[in-house]
Structure 1
């Protein structure tokens, strides 16, 4: 399920509305002494670790962005502190959990948990987190991309199976949309912060981002398959097939949508905030 939120920080990879749902869940848990299914799904997918990775990716991206903002000079401590605030793990965790509760309302969470808490489900979640962690290293990511290029060129049976998995979960299209939404949000943050030309409109931003769609799609496709091959390298075809079959069920599709939406909302939110923070420094420099 982690491939649904690819590159959560570098696309440039839950809130109050769900509070009543969570309140009802807490009340229900107290009455029945049963764990909240949304929280159980959140833990089974290892989303706390994913959020930590998202925050780490975000802080690293902030340092990369600082190089262009400050000309490669010393990054002000205030900038690093502002970026860390944008990617605060506790805040992100609360929002992801709230959004997940909203997205899973009325869904068959029992069927989701039956798979996620099975031996196969737990193995797959761990493999994905391990791969995501490893690919924070640029050298590991490059090696994964090269291995994926070879596998695709050779048309290996494993790549065919992973292609079915990617297509079933719509991984490329949803992540392209997520990356483009994040780019738009970042530039809207710059615009709202007064850092863009006063003649620039939201339509101009949309046009500019759409002009990059082909490159974003190519980069996303490369990353999706390098990630999947890296993550599932230790898994058997039977493990992948079981995950694929779950993904084809209605509970699997509902979980896919809920997880992607939760992280897509967060990515848009942090991208806009990052644009506002960048605008603050750019407008100050212009003065």
Structure 2
């Protein structure tokens, strides 16, 4: 009996140790990637997109709707969803070398230029500017263009983002279906078929967005720096970090989309109290 107790104690201590290590790594991730700034930017994007819904979509822009959007995209709630998803990743400790890369001077530069690139793409005329830069690189520096394509491939940016977008769209419909007025029409088969019909368009948009983003962001790096980024991304640690990153974003976006679907259904029916 004492042996069993000792074994259980050892298991509990080990579990606490692993949990503490995971928490420490996630804290390092949040600091290295400036997640406070990332989540603030994503909140702004979410609110802007939500406010862009027109009366044709069944939602009238109002202070109540904007307030609901702010609750949906609350940074603290988003951070909690993100952390919880990352903590569920098995052996997240294996990502430590990749986190260390982003804590380096080069890694910190990359974090900031990625944030700057996202803001630039969101600005008026940003997408057109990015597309022009892509054409210029493709025509005048094909080797650099291939590096951008390699970066996108190594990080599985297109496939992961397409699947994330499809899951978020499904979550939106599932959120709407919680309202009894829409439950009957929003069957599982209807929601799945509707979402999958969107796949080609989403894929095309993602292919365009990833190359536009890459050129806008990494144009500030030398080819050797881009190669260093590709190299760390292609390691086991880089892939593990990518897995954790997408798990965090997917969980966050799906939860937000679900709540947006619920809110949309309520506001379409005037249940906006």
Q: Does 1:39 align with 2:38?
A: no
CA–CA distance in 2 between the matches of 1:195 and 1:231? 45
Residues 70, 259 of structure 1: CA spacing in aligned structure 2 closer, same or farther, 3 A cutoff? same
CA RMSD between the two structures: 2.5
2:226: which partner in 1?
A: 240
CA–CA distance in 2 between the matches of 1:121 and 1:43? 12
Within the candidate set 90, 104, 107, 2:76 is matched to 90
Within the candidate set 189, 213, 233, 1:227 is matched to 213
> What pairs up with 1:245-264 in 2 under 5 angstroms?
245-264=231-250
Within the candidate set 153, 171, 175, 1:185 is matched to 171
Contact 2:86 2:245 in 1 (8 A): yes
Contact 1:104 1:258 in 2 (8 A): no
Please give the per-residue CA displacement for 1:156-193, whole angstroms capped at 9, x wherever unaligned.
Answer: 22110010111011100111111111111111212222
Q: Does 1:55 align with 2:43?
A: yes
The alpha carbon displacement at 1:50 in A equals 1.0
The alpha carbon displacement at 1:109 in A equals 4.2
Q: Any idea what SS the aligned residue of 1:268 has?
A: helix
The alpha carbon displacement at 1:276 in A equals 0.3
Which runs of no fewer than 5 residues in structure 1 stay unpaired?
A: 1-19, 30-34
More displaced 10-residue stretch of structure 1: 116-125 or 260-269: 116-125
1:76: which partner in 2?
A: 62
1:103: which partner in 2?
A: 89
Contact 1:182 1:271 in 2 (8 A): yes
The alpha carbon displacement at 1:92 in A equals 0.8
Q: Which has the higher helix share?
A: 2
Tell me the TM-score normalized by structure 1: 0.81
Please give the per-residue CA displacement for 1:114-138, whole angstroms capped at 9, x wherever unaligned.
Answer: 2111222111111111111222213
Q: Any idea what SS the aligned residue of 1:192 has?
A: coil
Q: Any idea what SS the aligned residue of 1:279 has?
A: helix
> What pairs up with 1:58-207 in 2 under 5 angstroms?
58-69=46-57, 75-103=61-89, 105-152=91-138, 156-196=142-182, 198-207=184-193
Contact 1:152 1:159 in 2 (8 A): yes
More displaced 10-residue stretch of structure 1: 90-99 or 120-129: 90-99
Q: Which has the larger radius of gyration?
A: 2
Residues 91, 197 of structure 1: CA spacing in aligned structure 2 closer, same or farther, 3 A cutoff? closer
The alpha carbon displacement at 1:211 in A equals 1.2
Please give the per-residue CA displacement for 1:34-63, whole angstroms capped at 9, x wherever unaligned.
Answer: x92320122101222111111110100110
More displaced 10-residue stretch of structure 1: 241-250 or 155-164: 155-164
Within the candidate set 184, 188, 197, 1:211 is matched to 197
CA–CA distance in 2 between the matches of 1:21 and 1:127? 37
The alpha carbon displacement at 1:66 in A equals 4.6
Contact 1:22 1:101 in 2 (8 A): no
Residues 22, 230 of structure 1: CA spacing in aligned structure 2 closer, same or farther, 3 A cutoff? farther
